[in-house]
A and B are shown apart, each in its own frame.
Chain A
Amino acid sequence: MSFGRFYRLIADNADVIGFGIWVTIQLAIVSMMIAVILGLIACLGSLSRARILRFPSMLFVEFGRNTPILVQLIWVHFAWPEILGIKFSAWTSAVIALSLQSSGYLAEEFRAGIESIDKGQIEASQALGMTYQRLMRRIVVPQALMRMIPGILNQFVTCFKSTSIVSVIAVPDLMYQAGLIVSMTFLPMPVYSFVAFLYFVMVMVIALGVRFATRRLPQFGYFNQRHGGE
């Protein structure tokens, strides 16, 4: 295939590809935002002394981490409507599955972050009259979150790559749009090559940004210390 024909192919389908990229980015961002909140709740639940909170939280975390994303996606999309009696759009199913997976991993990272907080911090808070809830909210979780920033960003990269799987339930992400173009043009080689290149560039840019941000972090307030976030 000549460069001219390749250029025409891409230019003619630029809007289809562009829409796919937009859906992919949206999926990654929305899923991650939900996953951070869910992960934090699940983490606090699994650290709780109350068994009624701890057990379901741990189950949630382990399920999210120990089942393949494809299985979660298919399960949510085809089984949940029957279990819950509500019909989801493919986009909603995709967000739920991606959040489920990411929140499992994030919960583990949060837990490690919370457990890394010096015990002296907790004792100082208690000595100042803070209740467990207050010292978690005001002292422990904010410090853990700051330590978790690199972990959250890395999980975002993983989540971004995982979004390509949602094409199997016809969410019009970049991968799905590429399939559409192939079925219209019968040109899998140039289309999929270009899509691979696009994913590579996008993920590379995000990963570089993450690395840059992580390296810059130690220069800000709280991180500006001898043994701050790595």
Chain B
Amino acid sequence: MQLDQPVKPLVRLSGVWKRFGKLEVLRGIDLDVNEGATVAIIGPSGSGKSTLVRCLNHLEPIQDGAIEIDGFLITPRGVEKSGRLLGQREVAKFRTLLGMVFQQFNLFPHLTVLGNIIEAPTGVLGRDRAAVTEEAMDLLAKVNLADKANVYPARLSGGQQQRAAIVRSLIMHPKIMLFDEPTSALDPELIGEVLKVIGELAIKGRTSIIVTHELAFARDIASKIVFMDAGLIVEEGPPDKLLTSPKLDRTRAFIARIL
């Protein structure tokens, strides 16, 4: 048994700072995410959880520190590979490495559900339309939306929209999935169906980072839970440990408030 076998992290943040003007949203974040791991980020609102996730696919540039993702390096200068700064087109390509699910779903309202899903694989990756459509219908069936393929998003419930948005990300075959409070905009009775799709389909065999307020869900699926407060990671550890016997009062108070 080799317990100390080194696992190279797929995502590594070192000393990441993010400022909006004078507001310091991330104040030196260090975090490793191993390949295949599921990391849940919890913490009070305004603690920088969403911003952290948005820095990973460079939707937000960082002001200091570095993020390594699968051979790419994000620095305050932009996205680099082998020491070379990438152009707009290459950054776009880099982003396909990560799938992202937003709090507000962000489906394209002028396209049908199927149109939403096949837009990027055909347009960005240039994959064959027929094959992509077949895969899309397959995935839609898995999330119970097969009958909604030709419906416009406005006709769907929030839970249905979010499930479609998850399929839209998955069909790009991302190496890493990012979830930014995927159930926070949903009515309570719709949360379960979305968590089920995330747990049983989206994070299976994929490195995932999930910002969530659903602590029970986080305990079930996460290999590591990270507690953030005021732009810092204040505590991290395996779910059982962090949720049942946190080291810090801040963490304990937050968990007590949510549960």
Contact = CB atoms under 8 A, between A and B. Distances in A.
Interface in A107-148: 118, 120-121, 123-132, 134, 138-139, 142-143, 146
B155 to A, nearest CB: 7
A225 B98 CA distance: 30
A225 B106 contact: no
Interface of B: 57, 59, 88-89, 92-93, 95-96, 98-100, 102, 104, 106-110, 112, 119-120, 123-125, 152, 154-155, 165, 168-169, 172
Contacts of B169: 127-128
Contact of A127 (B93, B99, B119): B99
23 contacts: A118-B106, A120-B106, A121-B106, A123-B102, A124-B100, A124-B108, A126-B57, A127-B57, A127-B95, A127-B98, A127-B169, A128-B168, A129-B93, A130-B120, A130-B124, A134-B123, A138-B123, A142-B110, A221-B112, A222-B109, A225-B152, A225-B154, A228-B154
Interface in A62-86: none
A164 B187 CA distance: 57
Interface string A215-230: 0000001101110100
Interface size class of A (residues with CB under 8 A): 20 to 34
Nearest to A142: B110
Contacts of B95: 126-129
Interface in A193-230: 221-222, 224-226, 228
Contacts of A130: 92, 120, 123-124
A129 B120 CA distance: 7
Nearest to B95: A129
Contacts of B57: 126-127
Contacts of B165: 124
A158 B234 CA distance: 62
Contacts of A128: 95-96, 119-120, 124, 168-169, 172
